[in-house]
Chain A
Amino acid sequence: MKGFMLSFRSEFYKSRKTLGFWASILLPLLICSLLFIGFFAKSEKLTGTPPMMLWVQFAGAIMGIMGSLLLPMFTIFIAYSVNSIEHKSDTWKSLFSLPISRWSVYGAKFTYAIFLIFLTLALFVLFTIGFGNLLSVVKPDLRFDNYHMEKQLAEIYFKLFLSSLGILSIQFLLSLLWSDFLKPMGIGFVCTITGVILASKNWEYCYLFPYSHPMVAITTMMRHGDKRITEIQIDVFTKDVFVSLAVGVVVFIVGYFIVLKKSVK
C-alpha cells in the first residue's frame, strides 16, 4: 500500500507540468466560461424563462456534447497522457526496476487516470453551479438563484463518471501497450463514433458497448413514469452503468496480468 501511495504521489509530481493534467482543469473552466459568455450576451431573450428551465438549458448545453463526444474523447486522451509520460522518456524500464511492486506502479497509474477524470467532472459541476449563480448576480433578470439543482448536477456527473470507466480501462491498456499516439487514439475514435451511432439509434444492446455508455447515461438519467416535471429525479445506477463498472474492473485485472507477464523492452 505504501508503494501504491508513493507511486500515486509520483504520478502527480510527474504530470503536474503536462498538458494532460492541466487539460483536466482548463477544459471545464473554458467550456463553462464560454457558456457563461453566451448566456450573458443573450440574456434579453432568456428573461422570464422559469428558473428551472434556465438551469436545464445552461447545464444541458454541456451535457449534450459531453455524452456524445467530449467525455469519451477526453477519457481516451487522459488514458494516453498518463502512459505517454513513460513512453516518451523511455522510463518504463527504470520504473519497473525500482523496489516497488508492479501492482503498485500499475494500480497507481490507473487510479491517477481515474482521479483526473473525476477531477474534470467535479469541476464541471462546480463551474456550472458557480457560473449559473454568477449570472444571476450580473444579470438579475435571469433568476438562476430561484432554483437549486446542485444535487441533481452532482448525480448526473457522477453517473457520467461511472459510465466512462469502461472506456478508460480499455484505453488505458491500449495506451500502456502501444507507445504511439495513433493506435489507441484511432481505435478509440472509431469506437466512440460507433458507440454514438448505436446509442442514438437506440439499439437495444448498446448498454453492453462501453463506448456508448456516456451517451446512454445521458438518455437513461431521467427517471421515467413521473409525469410531473416540478422536480428532476436522476437515475444513477442504470444497467449501462453497471456494465461500465464491470468492464472497468475486468479489464483492469486483465491488464495487471499482462503487465506482470510483460517484458520491459
Chain B
Amino acid sequence: MVIRTEGLSFNFGDQQVVKSLALQVPEGSIYGFLGPNGAGKTTTIKLLLNLLKVQSGSIHIFEQDIQHNRIHILSQIGSLIEQPAIYLHLSGKENLLNRALLLQVPIKRVDEMLALVQLTNAADKKAGQYSLGMKQRLGIALALLADPKLLILDEPTNGLDPNGIIEVRELLIKLVQKHNKTVFISSHLLAEVERMATHVGIINNGELLFQGSIAELQALSQPLVCIEADNTVDAANLLTRNGFKVTDVTDKYLYVTYVNKEKIAEINSLLHRNGYAIYSIGKQQKDLERLFLDITQNA
C-alpha cells in the first residue's frame, strides 16, 4: 500500500471532521477520494501531508510513519491543495524556478513542465493575471516538478474548462500507466472520478462509507428494468400482484428490479395481455451518480 491509515480521526474544536478513517491506496492506482463539499476531504489530505497534526490513529505512506519520516516521505510526494498556491507577483516560470531551487531540480525540468501543462506561451506572464484554469495547470506543474512517486491532488479540475478537464485526466492516466505513479485525487464529482479512477473511497461527514475498486462499486449498483407505459401506477400494481419488485414509479416510467432477460419478456407480455400500452422496455444500469447519492444520503 502506498497510503495506509488506521483509525485516523481529527477534531476542529468540538467538531469531529474525520472519523476513524482506514484508507488503503494501492501502488499504481488512481484513487478517487469522493465526497460532497465539507465531507472532510481536504482535512484528510492535509493530514496526509502532515500540515495538520495527527490527533489519533496513524498514517503510513510508503509503509513509513509520517510523524517520524516527514521529510523523506514528503520528498516523494507532489501535492496540490485547494486553490493552487502560487506567488501572484511572480511569473509562471519564476514560480517553477523558485520551486526548482527549493527542491534542487534541474532548470530544464521547468521548461518541460511548462510545455506539459501548455503554459509555455504564458510562461513570462505574471501568475496574478492567469485565469483560474491556468493557475490550476501551473499548480499541477508545480506538483509534478520533482517527478514524485505519489501525487496528492485536491480537486485538481476545479475551474478547468471541458478541454482542460480531459487533458488533466489523460495526463494522470498516462502518469499511472506509463510512469508507474500513484495518484490520490479528491473530487465531489463522481462522473469525473469514474472516468479515470481504478479505486474509490467515498467519504461523508468524515466517515468512509465505501472503499474498493471501481468494479466493486459498480457491482453494488443493481440493474433495473425501465418500462415506459401509459398508465404506470396501475401497471405497477399489476406487476406487484404478480410477484415483481417495483422500485420506483413516475408519470411516464416504472422501474422493476432486473433478474434476467426472460423476466423482461414476461413483464412485456403480462402488461400487453392486460391492455397496457408499452412504449419502451429495457435493462438499465443504475448509474453511479444515484448510487453515490444513495450512499452519502442514507448514511
Which residues of A come within 8 Å of B, CB atoms?
A: 6-7, 9-10, 13-14, 17-18, 85, 88-101, 261, 263-264
Docked pose: A88 CA to B77 CA in angstroms: 24
Interface segment among B97-105, B173-181, B203-211, B250-258: the answer is B97-105
B89 touches A7 (CB 8 A): no
Out of B79, B101, B103, which one reaches A13, CB within 8 Å? B101
Are A97 and B101 CB-contacts (below 8 A) given A14-B90, A91-B86, A263-B52?
Answer: no
Residues of the B chain whose Cβ atoms lie less than 8 Å from the Cβ of A90: 83, 85
Q: Which of B86-125 contact A (CB under 8 A)?
A: 86-90, 94, 97-98, 101-104
B51 interfacial by beta-carbon distance below 8 Å: yes
Docked pose: A96 CA to B79 CA in angstroms: 11
Residues of the A chain whose Cβ atoms lie less than 8 Å from the Cβ of B101: 6, 9-10, 13
Closest chain-A Cβ to B287's Cβ sits at a distance in Å of 35
Out of B51, B75, B90, which one reaches A263, CB within 8 Å? B51
B195 interfacial by beta-carbon distance below 8 Å: no
Docked pose: A7 CA to B85 CA in angstroms: 17
A264 touches B46 (CB 8 A): yes
Count of residues in B whose CB is under 8 Å from the partner chain: 29
Residues of the A chain whose Cβ atoms lie less than 8 Å from the Cβ of B83: 90
Residues of the B chain whose Cβ atoms lie less than 8 Å from the Cβ of A7: 102
Out of A10, A89, A263, which one reaches B85, CB within 8 Å? A89
- The 8 A CB mask of B232-264 against A (1 = contact, 0 = none) is 000000000000000000000000000000000
Docked pose: A10 CA to B90 CA in angstroms: 12
A18 touches B75 (CB 8 A): no
Docked pose: A90 CA to B82 CA in angstroms: 10
Are A97 and B71 CB-contacts (below 8 A) given A10-B102, A14-B87?
Answer: no
Residues of the B chain whose Cβ atoms lie less than 8 Å from the Cβ of A261: 53
Out of B46, B72, B88, B94, which one reaches A99, CB within 8 Å? B72
B50 interfacial by beta-carbon distance below 8 Å: yes
Residues of the B chain whose Cβ atoms lie less than 8 Å from the Cβ of A263: 46, 51-53
B81 interfacial by beta-carbon distance below 8 Å: yes
A6 touches B49 (CB 8 A): no
B46 touches A88 (CB 8 A): no
B74 interfacial by beta-carbon distance below 8 Å: yes
Are A98 and B89 CB-contacts (below 8 A) given A10-B98, A10-B101?
Answer: no
Closest chain-A Cβ to B45's Cβ sits at a distance in Å of 10
Docked pose: A20 CA to B98 CA in angstroms: 18
Residues of the A chain whose Cβ atoms lie less than 8 Å from the Cβ of B72: 99
Residues of the A chain whose Cβ atoms lie less than 8 Å from the Cβ of B86: 89, 91
Are A13 and B71 CB-contacts (below 8 A) given A94-B81, A98-B103?
Answer: no
Out of B85, B87, B88, B89, which one reaches A93, CB within 8 Å? B85
Closest chain-B Cβ to A183's Cβ sits at a distance in Å of 22
A99 touches B71 (CB 8 A): yes
A97 touches B81 (CB 8 A): yes
Docked pose: A18 CA to B94 CA in angstroms: 14
A6 touches B102 (CB 8 A): yes
Out of A14, A88, A94, A99, which one reaches B142, CB within 8 Å? A94
A91 touches B85 (CB 8 A): yes
Residues of the B chain whose Cβ atoms lie less than 8 Å from the Cβ of A97: 49-51, 74, 77, 79, 81
- The 8 A CB mask of B33-59 against A (1 = contact, 0 = none) is 000000000000010011111000000
B85 touches A17 (CB 8 A): no
B74 touches A89 (CB 8 A): no
Docked pose: A100 CA to B50 CA in angstroms: 12
B51 touches A264 (CB 8 A): yes
- The 8 A CB mask of B130-159 against A (1 = contact, 0 = none) is 000000000000100000000000000000
Residues of the A chain whose Cβ atoms lie less than 8 Å from the Cβ of B53: 261, 263
8 closest A-B pairs by CB: A99-B75, A94-B85, A91-B85, A264-B51, A99-B74, A97-B49, A99-B71, A263-B52
A13 touches B97 (CB 8 A): yes
Residues of the A chain whose Cβ atoms lie less than 8 Å from the Cβ of B51: 93, 96-97, 263-264
Closest chain-B Cβ to A107's Cβ sits at a distance in Å of 14
Docked pose: A264 CA to B79 CA in angstroms: 15
Query: Apart from A14-B90, A99-B72, what are 6 other A-B pairs with CB-CB below 8 Å?
Result: A17-B89, A94-B81, A97-B74, A261-B53, A263-B52, A264-B46
Residues of the B chain whose Cβ atoms lie less than 8 Å from the Cβ of A98: 74, 102-103
B87 touches A100 (CB 8 A): no
Residues of the A chain whose Cβ atoms lie less than 8 Å from the Cβ of B46: 93, 263-264
Docked pose: A145 CA to B212 CA in angstroms: 83
Docked pose: A97 CA to B139 CA in angstroms: 14
Closest chain-A Cβ to B113's Cβ sits at a distance in Å of 15
Residues of the B chain whose Cβ atoms lie less than 8 Å from the Cβ of A10: 98, 101-102
Residues of the A chain whose Cβ atoms lie less than 8 Å from the Cβ of B77: 97
Docked pose: A99 CA to B62 CA in angstroms: 15
Residues of the A chain whose Cβ atoms lie less than 8 Å from the Cβ of B103: 98-99
Docked pose: A14 CA to B53 CA in angstroms: 28
Q: Report the nearest A residue to B143, measured CB to CB.
A: A94
Out of B71, B82, B88, which one reaches A100, CB within 8 Å? B71
A264 touches B52 (CB 8 A): yes
Docked pose: A99 CA to B103 CA in angstroms: 8
